[in-house]
Structure formats: structure tokens, C-alpha cells
Amino acid sequence: MHSTFNDLPPELWIAIGRYLRGDAFAVKQFAAVSARAFLLLNPILYEDIVSPNALAALAMEMDFRHWDSPHPASLVKTLCLDFQKLPQPSISNLHLLYATFQQAFTNILRFARSGSDGTTPALSVFLLKCHLSLDEIFQGVQFRPLHLEEVWL
């Protein structure tokens, strides 16, 4: 019988994905190998978010998802974004970036309150470095029943 890479057990796919975890691009490319790879590796791709580049996927509308995988925002456990390291964008690009962040964070909060399984909170670590106050960034975002504390360093 002829075996293919797709015939590997899920544990091996996940082990390879965890090995590649430090390189988000490599995990993303590996997840694109097949629908099975996507379903198995998507949780690894989105559990630790450190790049603002992931915000577009996290900001997708909840009903926009057409496949059987969970929304990426439901998979986020650690969100550590440093907007201070980004190149200085234009005012319109900065507005778009923060609007995308607000929508992404709103989606994350939906799952942080109850988790993707309905009982376990998903988000456990949140760190944000930027030049704006939390009030400016989170205009209109409802945090209840969560509490956010602003610390200036």
C-alpha cells in the first residue's frame, strides 16, 4: 500500500507544527499543504500572537468563516503586540491598523469571556505596547466582565 505525507498521524503533524512555532510563516505554509493540515495546525498558528500582521485574520467577521474550523480569535491564548516597533505609518494607515485591532480584540473578547468550548477562557496573556492610551485604542470595546488595568512604563 502506498502511503503519503497526508497519512501521517495527527500527533506528528502537531509535533512538526510545534517545532516550527517560532516561525509563523513556516507554520502558515505548512498549514496550507492540505485541508487536514489546516485543521490540525490552525490552533498552533494563532495561539501565540506577537505580530500585528495576524490582526486581519483575527478581525474577520464571525459569520465570514465558511469552513469547519474555529474562528482564529477563539484560539488566541497569548497576545503580545508592540506597535512601537512598526515603521511610522501614515495617519490613514494608522487609523486602519487601530480599527483592525479594535475589531480583532472585540472578537478575541467574545472568546476570552467563555472560550471556544463555552467554559474555558481562551486569552490568558495580553501585552500591548503603543503610543496611545487604552481609551484611545479601545473606543467602543466592551470589556465586561473582564477588567483591564493600564500600566505606564
- DSSP characters for 34-100? -HHHHHHHHHHHHHEE--GGGHHHHTS-GGG--SSSPPGGGG-SEEEEEGGGS----HHHHHHHHHH
Q: Where are the domains of the chain?
A: 1-45, 50-153
CA distance 38 to 97: 26
Q: Which helix (H) or strand (E) holds 110?
A: helix 91-114
pLDDT per residue over 115-140, tens digit each? Answer: 556 555 567 777 777 766 666 666 66
150 has pLDDT over 70: no
Please state, in angstroms and as integers, the Cα–Cα distance from residue 73 to each residue in 6, 36, 56, 57, 113, following that order. Answer: 27, 20, 10, 8, 12
Residue 78 has pLDDT above 80, yes or no: yes
Average model confidence (pLDDT) across the chain: 76
d(CA 58, CA 70): 11
pLDDT reported for residue 17: 92
Does residue 100 have a pLDDT over 80?
yes
pLDDT on residue 92: 58
d(CA 101, CA 22) in angstroms, rounded, equals: 22
Helix 10-19 to helix 35-47 angle, to the nearest 10 degrees?
A: 40
Residue 94 burial class via C-beta count within 10 angstroms: exposed 0-12, middle 13-18, buried 19 and up: middle
> Cis peptide before 145, with omega less than 30 degrees from 0?
yes
